[in-house]
Chains A and B, each alone.
Chain A
Amino acid sequence: MAALPEALDLGFAKSGQAGYYEQVFSIASPLHSAPPAPRRLLPSGFSRLDASGGFARGQLVEISGAASSGKSTLAFGACLQALAQGSSAAWIDSSGTFWPLPALEANVSLERLLVLRMLDSAAVLRSVQLILSCPGAVTALVVDVSPRLAIKDAQLVRLQRLAERSGTVLIFLTERPAQLPTLGAPIALRLHVRRLPGARFSEQSRLRIDVLRHKGGANQQSFEESVHGPNRLRVSSTL
C-alpha cells in the first residue's frame, strides 16, 4: 500500500487491514486504489469468530467482559492456536489469577506459553514493549488489564506499531462494560463477552460475543460460541 500522508497516519495505515483512513483514501484518490496486502490471520479456535477472519496479526484487540464471562477463554483460544502452529504465545497476568489448569489436564503442552506475573502497572507496559520489540517471538500476546492500569492513546499507538512490526496479535482483557468506549482509538477489534446463564459445569456453556468495533469489518454483530465447561479437570472427572 502506498504511504499515507504523515499527518493522517494515526497508526491505522500500517496495520495491514483496511482501516478508516485507508477506506477514505481508497474512495477519495485513485492513487490509493491498490488492493491492500493480504492479512496474516490467527484463528481464535471459535468457529463463528474465525468465519469472520479471526484475529489479524499486528492488530490490537480488546476483549471485555465481567468476571467469569468467558473473555479469558476466548483469548486463550488464540494462544492455543498459536501454540498449535508451532509458534509461541505470552500472557501477562497483572492480577495474579491466571490458572490454565484445564488445558494442562487436557494434556496440552504449555511449554511455549510464556506467563509473566506482573502486578505493577508500569511493569506491564514495559514487558509488553520488551516482548513486541523482538519480532517473531510470540504470535499472540494477552495482557490482563486491571482497573488500575491506565493506558494512554499515545502508548497504544506505539504498541500498535510494535505489534505490527512483530506480527503479533495483542489482546487486552478488560472488565469494561459494553457501554463504555474501547480502551483507545488504535484498538481495531473489540469484542464483548458474556456467559449465558443456565449451563451446568459438566455441559458446554454458551458465550455470547458482541462485536462492538471492527475496523474494516462489520460492527454490531453478535454470535454465540460453545465452550467446554471446566469438567475437563481430571480431578473432577475421574475421581
Chain B
Amino acid sequence: MDRIACAFLPRFEPSRTQEVLLLLATLSPLLAHLDADGGGSFFLGLRGMAHVVSSEKSFLEQIHARLRERGFETRVAIADTAFVAWVVAQRAQGIVPPGTAAAKLLDAVTLDELQLSSPARSLLTKLGVKTAGAIARLPAGSLARRLGPEGVRLEKLCRGEALVAHPSTENLPPSIERVALDLDEPLSDLEPLLFLAKSLLDRLLPALARTRRALTELTIIARLDDHSLVDHMLTPESPTLEAAALMTLIRLWFERKPFGAAVASLELCASRTGVASARQLGLFLQREEKETAALEKVVARLGAAFGRERVVRAELGDTFLPEARLRWVPIQLANQSQRTHAAEALPILRKLPQPEQIRWRDGRLFRANAPGVQIIHVDGPLRFSGGWWSTPFNRSYFWLSLGDGALAWIFREEPSGPFFLEALAD
C-alpha cells in the first residue's frame, strides 16, 4: 500500500495554496501524488520515496521544516490512507505505523469533521451513525445506495479507499500528461499503429489515475516519415480512464487513414482532463441517464469515425429568410433530456442542396428534363425582403399543390426573376 503524508496548516490562507503545492512538489519526484483539499490540508504520496529519504520520520521532519521556513505553521502526519493521515494531522503530528487498524482511530472522528451535506447528516443520524469508524463498519454499498455520489465518497473515505481526503482538484498545479515514442522503423499498417497507441495509452492513463483525473480530451500527435506533423483531438463521451473506450475512438480515427505517410513517432497527450463523474462509475443510473450515456457514446464514436461536423442537430436560426431559418449545430447533449410535446405528425421538408430553376407556364410546373405537372392550388406569394446590411434579398415564396400530390415550395427573386424550387414536403 502507498503511504500518504498529510500536512495540515491550521492558519491556512487559500491564496497561498499554489505556493504550498509548489513547495511540496520539490520534495517528491512524483508530482502526480500531490493534492490539496482547499481547506488547509495537503497530501503527498510516498511512492518511490524510499530511494530519496532514509525514513518516514526524516521525511516528515523535512516537510515540516520546509513549510516552517516559509512561515507556515503546520502539523504533518503519515499513514496508510489519506483520510487517516488527515485525521491525525488535524490533531497532532505523527506517524501511524503501517498496518495499524484504523477503525479505533476513526471512532474519534465525529460527523462534524466530515463536511457532510444536510441529507447525508440527517440519514446518518437516523441510522445512529455518529463517527467515521461507524461509517467504515456499515455494509459496503449501503450509503452509496441511499446517498448517491456522496455516499460513495464517504464509504471510500472511511474505508481508506480514497486517495485524498476531501479532494479539491482545482487546486492541482496545472500539468499535462503526455507520452511519446519514436520508432526505429516508421509504421503505416493499422494494427501495429493501434498496438503502439494502446501501449502509450497504458502509460498515460495510470499517470492520470494517480491524480484522480480522467481524460476528457486526447490529442494524438504523429510525426510522419516525410517530416510533416498530423495532430487530432478525440473527445470521449465522458471523462474516462477506460483504455477500451478510448481505443475504439482511436481505431475509428485511424480507419479514416489520416496519415499521408508512414508514422515515425507517436505522442498521446491528455490535453484536457476532468473529474470522473458518478455516472462514469456506473452508479445510480436511471433509464434516461443510461440512454444519454449511450447516446453520448454514439456521438463520440460517430465523431471519431466521420468527424464531429457530420453529427449535428437542427436549431432555429435568428433570421426571417426562410431558407436560413434552420441551421445545423454540433450535438450538445444535456444531462436531463428535454421531452417534446408533439403528439401529432409534423411534415418534413426536403430542401434541395441548391435551389433548382423551374418554369411556371400555363398552369403547369416544369422541372429540368421532366414533363410538366399540373398546378392545382397556389398559396402565396409571401414576400420577404431584408439583409440590406450584408446580403440583400427580395423574394416571393409560394406553396404549390401539384397534380401528382406533391407539395412544392418555390420562390422568385423579385421583381421579375426566374422561379426556383426550394423544397418539397415529404
Contacts and interface: CB of A to CB of B under 8 A. Distances in A.
Contact of A236 (B302, B305, B328, B382): B382
Interface string A165-177: 0000000000000
Given A86-B288, A201-B377, A131 B302 contact: yes
A220 interface: no
A76 B346 contact: yes
Interface in A140-165: none
Given A99-B326, A136-B291, A202-B379, A69 B306 contact: no
A106 B342 contact: yes
Interface stretch (A9-17, A32-40, A109-117, A179-187): A109-117
B83 interface: no
Contact of A68 (B294, B382, B405): B405
A68 B314 contact: no
B407 A205 contact: yes
Interface stretch (A51-59, A211-219, A224-232): A224-232
Nearest to A101: B326
A109 B301 CA distance: 24
Interface residues of B, number: 67
A100 B348 contact: yes
Nearest to A239: B382
A98 B316 contact: no
B233 to A, nearest CB: 19
A225 to B, nearest CB: 8
B26 to A, nearest CB: 46
A140 B173 CA distance: 45
A68 B301 contact: no
B346 A106 contact: yes
Contacts of B328: 115, 117
A69 B306 CA distance: 31
A237 to B, nearest CB: 10
Q: Is the interface of B mostly helix, strand, loop or mixed?
A: mixed
A225 B345 CA distance: 10
B333 interface: yes
Contacts of A188: none
B22 to A, nearest CB: 43
Contacts of B361: none
A80 interface: yes
A227 B426 CA distance: 11
Nearest to A110: B314
Interface string A124-143: 00110011001111100000
Contacts of B384: 235, 239
B256 to A, nearest CB: 10
Given A67-B426, A68-B425, A194-B405, A83 B342 contact: yes
A195 B406 contact: yes
B55 interface: no
Contacts of A90: 298
Interface of B: 288, 290-292, 294-295, 297-299, 301-302, 305-306, 310-316, 320, 322, 325-326, 328, 331-334, 337-353, 376-377, 379, 382, 384, 397, 399-409, 423-426
19 contacts: A72-B350, A83-B339, A83-B342, A84-B343, A87-B288, A87-B291, A98-B348, A100-B326, A114-B298, A114-B331, A115-B312, A130-B298, A197-B403, A201-B425, A227-B347, A230-B399, A232-B347, A235-B384, A235-B397
Given A80-B345, A84-B342, A130-B298, 13 more contacts: A67-B406, A68-B402, A68-B425, A80-B346, A96-B353, A97-B350, A105-B325, A113-B313, A115-B314, A127-B302, A134-B298, A197-B401, A239-B384
Interface of A: 45-46, 66-77, 80, 83-88, 90, 95-118, 123, 126-127, 130-131, 134-138, 194-202, 205, 225, 227-233, 235-236, 239
